[in-house]
A and B are shown apart, each in its own frame.
Chain A
Amino acid sequence: MAQIQSNEQNSGKGGKHGKVRAKKQSTHIDMTPMVDLAFLLLTFFMLTTTFGKPKTMEINMPVKDPTNQVKNEVNNALTFLLSGDDKIYWYYGELKPETKLTLTDYSTQGLRKLLLDRNKQAVDEIKTLRENALKNKMADSTLKRLEVDVKGKKYALMVLVKTDDKAKYKNVINVLDELNICLVGKYALVDLDMREYDLIKTFQP
């Protein structure tokens, strides 16, 4: 501070005596490189933050209770049997001695078509619900609740997913994902039955 003042005085005196011109210094600096850098950093941080958190799929397993075995005999359920080499078999209803497996695959034409066909009533109902929700500007939470209601109805499809010892984790995730896409709300991951194991082994297309 003091220095600046004395400088001013000096220059004032100088102005009176001689013709010493005060230098006209521009107050503007070229800020372009700084701005470039700032924006570069900005872009970098913006891009890195957005993709930071991984996504997850929530799943609830039934509480394990050794005294109360879960009933696998569900007469209106679709059962998927996952095996190695990305093979997926299914049968409908109860497992009877004459039950035959059908082979399908994880594509849109295979698994998804099957699920959509079997779950048609619930899918249609949810679709109309969604359309109505759009028209009436229904709150998201209300729509969610109504959808859950439909998925829990009696006519909605129920699915059991069973895996043998050769199935891969991605197969299971694929099926669960497909169930979510096809609006199936009732599904469970269950252990494989010995009879089912034999069915896979002796499967002939």
Chain B
Amino acid sequence: MPKVKMPKNSPSLDMTPMVDLAFLLVTFFMLTTQFRPDEPVVVDSPSSISEKILPDKVMLVTIDSTGRVFFNLEGKVMRKKMLGQMGAKYGVTFDEKETNRFALMTTFGMTVQQLKQYIPMDEMERKDFMKKSQGIPYDSLNNQLGDWIRFGRLAEAEISGAAPVDKTKGLRFAIKGDGNANYTAIKRVIEVFQEMKVNRFNLVTTLEQHPNI
């Protein structure tokens, strides 16, 4: 009888391909992830069944539960242009350094005059400031929100090369309101948009399950 040789199975197996794949995926996700910037206000948006995703090029107006209004438009070049025009209208000059800092900021909510003090602040000071801030004025007497919208659109149109008439191309307008905000505040913001001939909005909501009817 020949000896039956049991094959010696090595307990370790070659993991190289798996590791290669894992690292490939890690690199992919790391490069594609965009971390959400720290938002200065906490907003608890209401839920809806809509599954539409917030567009990329978007002008976002945030309204918190007390009716304060905040504004955000992303894109460094756009922000610089917008700030320049805004400063010119309200007689506030922003120097090179301030403009560059502003370009890197996210959502803000204060008058243009206060913005000058806000820009050089550090993280902690900004948080304190935001707690006390009254938001961007948007009543008909001092409609700074309307001007931010107008100059933001103009800056966007200039950069994307669209004709000024065709301003809405590409840029979308989103309203992110807190569920407990009074509807009159949101209504007024919509009115401000409509004064600028914007009639199409994206209302930011959180997803809730669709009930089958």
User: Chain A interface (Cβ within 8 Å of chain B)?
Assistant: 28, 31, 34-35, 38-39, 41-42, 45-46, 48-49, 52-64, 82, 108, 112, 116, 123, 163, 165-174, 176-177, 180-183
Interface residue ranges of B164-202 to A (CB < 8 Å): 174, 176-187, 190, 194-195, 197, 199-202
Q: Are A56 and B183 in contact (CB under 8 A)?
A: no
Chain B nearest CB from A40 CB (Å) reads: 9
List B contacts of A165 (CB < 8 A).
Answer: 182, 184
- What are 11 sample pairs from A and B whose C-beta atoms fall under 8 A apart? A54-B204, A55-B207, A57-B203, A58-B200, A61-B201, A112-B213, A163-B184, A169-B180, A174-B46, A177-B205, A181-B210
A-B contact count (CB 8 A): 153
Alpha-carbon distance A46/B27, docked complex (angstroms): 11
List A contacts of B183 (CB < 8 A).
Answer: 82, 163, 167-169, 171-172
Q: Are A55 and B29 in contact (CB under 8 A)?
A: no
Given contacts A64-B194, A165-B182, contact A176 B48 (CB under 8 A): yes
Q: Are B15 and A173 in contact (CB under 8 A)?
A: no
- CB-contact partner of B34 in A42, A52, A60, under 8 A: A52
**Interface residue? B54 (CB, 8 A):** yes
Q: Are A55 and B48 in contact (CB under 8 A)?
A: yes
- CB-contact partner of A169 in B15, B186, B195, under 8 A: B186
Q: Are A182 and B182 in contact (CB under 8 A)?
A: no
Given contacts A168-B181, A170-B46, A172-B183, contact A59 B19 (CB under 8 A): no
Q: Are B22 and A108 in contact (CB under 8 A)?
A: no
Q: Are A52 and B48 in contact (CB under 8 A)?
A: no
Alpha-carbon distance A143/B29, docked complex (angstroms): 35
Given contacts A28-B12, A35-B15, contact A55 B53 (CB under 8 A): yes
> Given A57-B48, A62-B199, A181-B213, 14 other A-B contacts at CB below 8 A?
A31-B19, A35-B18, A45-B26, A46-B25, A49-B29, A54-B204, A54-B205, A56-B205, A61-B201, A64-B194, A168-B183, A173-B205, A180-B50, A183-B213
Given contacts A116-B213, A166-B182, A171-B183, contact A55 B26 (CB under 8 A): no
Q: Are B26 and A108 in contact (CB under 8 A)?
A: no
Interface residue ranges of B13-66 to A (CB < 8 Å): 15-16, 18-19, 22-23, 25-26, 29-30, 32-36, 45-54, 63
Alpha-carbon distance A31/B26, docked complex (angstroms): 16
List B contacts of A60 (CB < 8 A).
Answer: 199-201
List A contacts of B206 (CB < 8 A).
Answer: 54-55
